[in-house]
Amino acid sequence: MSPLVHIVRHGQALHNVDRGYPHRDPPLTDAGHEATRRIKISAVPDLIVISPMTRTIQTAMNAFPSIASAPNETEVQIWPDLREAHDADCNKGISRAAISAKFPHLNFSECPEEWDHPPHTIEGATIRAETIRRRLKELSKEYNNIVLITHRGFIAYLVKGDRYDVCESRSYRFGTNEDAETEALRFGVNVDTKARQDFGPTVLVPYTPQGSSNDTPN
């Protein structure tokens, strides 16, 4: 079977229930912890890639308990480029030292010493999404089932389709060269910005185990 990417949105966090939440890096709520323990994907992951935020890491550890302590049974990578695509304080992380202290068994070497990423722009998030898709495609030469745990706003730049709910997961295959030249697959509307967007040239196409009949444009 072709390699798959399983995209997961984190569970309910404090800022999801308190819209005025004033602090950086909110953790999951009690309900969020409970719900993320019920996340299931259609295959056993051989690589889990996570945004460097407390809520995404907690989601990963609840959904895949084998990575909750060292040594990890499944490879885990932390990618700063998976951060959210909004500049609210709740979407800003903490320093590398602080997040490493909270989760000492994980490797945060790709993260900057301080959370000093440039302000969000649509152009920047679009470029960042293609960087992620290209990196995933390269890793798919080695890994067959990659789980990616990130945020609703950034998912809207990664793939076409309806908004993700908390804890929601969907699976994707890598588009062929022909898919990348198919306008209906490559181009569409960003569900958050409502603007037309290029979701390529590296394209992720919805996948279902029943076959390719559901790999249709949104």
The proportion of the chain whose per-residue pLDDT surpasses 90, expressed as a percent, equals 80
Q: How confident is the model at residue 210, as a pLDDT?
A: 64
- Report the pLDDT averaged over residues 60-81: 90
Give the sign of the dihedral formed by CA 184, CA 185, CA 190, CA 191: positive
Six-digit token string for 209:
């185990």
Please calculate the CA angle 194-40-71 and round it to the nearest 5 degrees: 110
CA 15 – CA 88 distance, rounded (Å): 10
| Nearest CA-CA partner of 48 in 76, 69, 87, 20 | 76
> Residue 34: helix, strand or coil by DSSP?
helix
- Report the pLDDT averaged over residues 51-70: 93
Are the C-beta atoms of 146 and 140 separated by less than 8 Å?
yes
Q: How confident is the model at residue 51, as a pLDDT?
A: 98
Q: How far apart are the first and last CA of the chain?
A: 24
Q: What is the mean pLDDT of the chain?
A: 92
Are the C-beta atoms of 173 and 2 separated by less than 8 Å?
yes
Six-digit token string for 159:
């793939």
Are the C-beta atoms of 145 and 155 separated by less than 8 Å?
no
**Residue 20 — very low, low, confident or very high, per pLDDT cuts 50/70/90?**
confident
- Report the pLDDT averaged over residues 39-62: 96
Are the C-beta atoms of 55 and 26 separated by less than 8 Å?
yes
Residue with tokens 């299931």: 40
| Nearest CA-CA partner of 13 in 80, 82, 62 | 62
pLDDT in tens, 128-160: 999 999 999 999 999 999 999 999 999 999 999
